[in-house]
Amino acid sequence: MIPHDKFIDKIKQYIDEKKLFSFGDHVIIGLSGGADSVCLLLVLKRLQQIYNLSITAIHVHHGIRGESAEHDLKFSRQLCEKEEIEFVEKRCDVPALAAKHHLTEEEAGRRVRYETFEYEAKKRGASVIAVAHHMDDQAETVLMNLLRGSGIRGCSGIPCKRSLSDKGDIVVVRPLLGMRREAIEAWLIESGQGWCIDETNLTDDYLRSRIRNRLLPLLSSEYNAQAAEHIACAAGDFSEAEEYLRDQAQALISSWHCVLHKQMMLPVKELKLQKPILQRYLIQEAISRTGGVKDITRTHIESVIGLLSKRTGSMVNLPQRRKAHIQYEFLIIEKESFSEHKEENQDLQSPNSKIGKAVYSIFPVCEKKIPQTCCVNWFDYDTIKEGLLMRKRRPKDRICIDAKGNTQKLSDCMINAKIPAAKRDQIPILASGSRVLWIAGVRMAEDCKITKHTRLVLEVRTVQ
């Protein structure tokens, strides 16, 4: 057991080691009234001057436990009054929220808590949200994820610090993650500080409760008294491995240039060259970029990997109306439907105007070199007879394929270019009537190219 006078020092050491706070931070504390959150509040109050912290405590009433919940709210309010800490209470109907969004009450409660924390943080200009997960919570999470069949990501457990949003302007920190539950409770008792007990934690109704009340004590008493510490330590190793593999996957995906709108197009040949574990991370990252990884299991990942040895048209359905399928040399992961782009005619009367998703300009022929890029092209303006349209392909589209003026169906041209079927409707087409001038990023028509007789140049740049 940690000596009473060393308890706060150990937490401060963890805070400094993990760089959880910066000098002058405004910290939002999630205060339930339980032992762990009471400990967190008191410890940060003791460290307030060292880090020059502003502190706001938030208690979320879930509308579930009747008088017990009212008692917890009152206790939390009085504790903050005693410690002279700003207190905010939020009441919500978690059962109704769970029913409305088809969530468990546990999931709905977590969602409303973090939404409340984020709202109050933004309202006050706070950049840090501190929550009171400890080492036993970490061990429980790792065991629970193992039993559910999780891989490295699940076994990495609860991070000590994470961004709450993509912007990274608000972070969630867990200063007690290096402390055991028994040490926290012992410190509170020695400090003469009481706490609230959530009676639902004493039941075995949930998997986490059964792990907390039965499995972890069994491991500690029958196998190793330091089981929780060892599991939490392993979680740290898993977390480092997870970060490394995720970085590798993101770097490869960036180098492959495989993002098209909300589609992910991964080259099958390159995927097959990767180690199996990196293949899984690449697939997981690609799925994540099309709508997150909620409800994505190892079975889904393995099913998608199984497509790599199959032919064009092979498909796997994924949660949230997504699918993975093979098209020629690509594995494509996408939503089942895409929003249509508005088609817009343009008469080319003023320079630097927009044609749908493109910007054009007209200028006299000059000594500049024709751009060698997939998103910019030059055309002989005098060869264009009608107004331009940047649009998707149409059934009667044709494109000139040689200097003699021979044309080919656009569909045949795309097939010959081995453009995956799923991608064909996403490629911008610059057209004049049914005459295709440019398949953006693929090829331009031969009859509108710059020649020695060109007077005016039409430059078209596609934009996102």
Instruction: Look up the pTM and report it.
Output: 0.68
Q: 396 φ, ψ to 5°? A: -95, 10
Question: Residue 182 belongs to a domain with what CATH number?
Answer: 3.40.50.620
Domain membership of residue 183 as a residue range: 4-235
pLDDT band for 279, please (50, 70, 90 cuts).
very high
Q: Are residues 87 and 130 in the same domain?
A: yes
Which one-letter DSSP state was computed for residue 398? Answer: E
Q: 3-state DSSP call for residue 311?
A: coil
CA 169-128-18 angle, to 5 degrees, is: 100
- Boundary (domain end) residue, out of 279, 305, 335: 335
203 found inside a domain: yes
Q: Are 307 and 343 in contact (CB under 8 A)?
A: no
245 found inside a domain: no
Question: Residue 276 belongs to a domain with what CATH number?
Answer: 3.30.465.60
9 found inside a domain: yes
> Which amino acid belongs to residue 433?
G
Q: Are residues 231 and 284 in the same domain?
A: no
241 found inside a domain: no
Mean pLDDT value across the chain: 87
More reliable by pLDDT, 98 or 367: 98
Q: Are residues 264 and 171 in the same domain?
A: no
Q: What is the mean pLDDT of residues 204-209?
A: 80
Return d(Cα 305, Cα 279) in angstroms, integer. Answer: 7
Q: Are residues 38 and 184 in the same domain?
A: yes
Cα diameter, the chain: 94
What is the four-CA torsion angle of 62, 64, 67, 72, rounded to 10 degrees?
-30
253 found inside a domain: no
Query: Does 351 score more than 60 pLDDT?
Result: no
First to last CA, the chain: 59
Q: Are residues 405 and 370 in the same domain?
A: yes
Q: Are residues 320 and 181 in the same domain?
A: no
250 found inside a domain: no
Q: What is the mean pLDDT of residues 32-46?
A: 97
Q: Point out which residues pair with 259 in neighbouring strands.
A: 264
Q: Are residues 408 and 381 in the same domain?
A: yes
Q: Are residues 365 and 432 in the same domain?
A: yes
pLDDT band for 95, please (50, 70, 90 cuts).
very high
Q: Are residues 264 and 362 in the same domain?
A: no
Which one-letter DSSP state was computed for residue 373? Answer: B
Residue position matching structure tokens 């959880």: 20
Q: Are residues 227 and 265 in the same domain?
A: no
What does the pLDDT look like over 231-251, one tens digit per residue? 999 999 999 999 999 999 999
Q: Are residues 329 and 348 in the same domain?
A: no
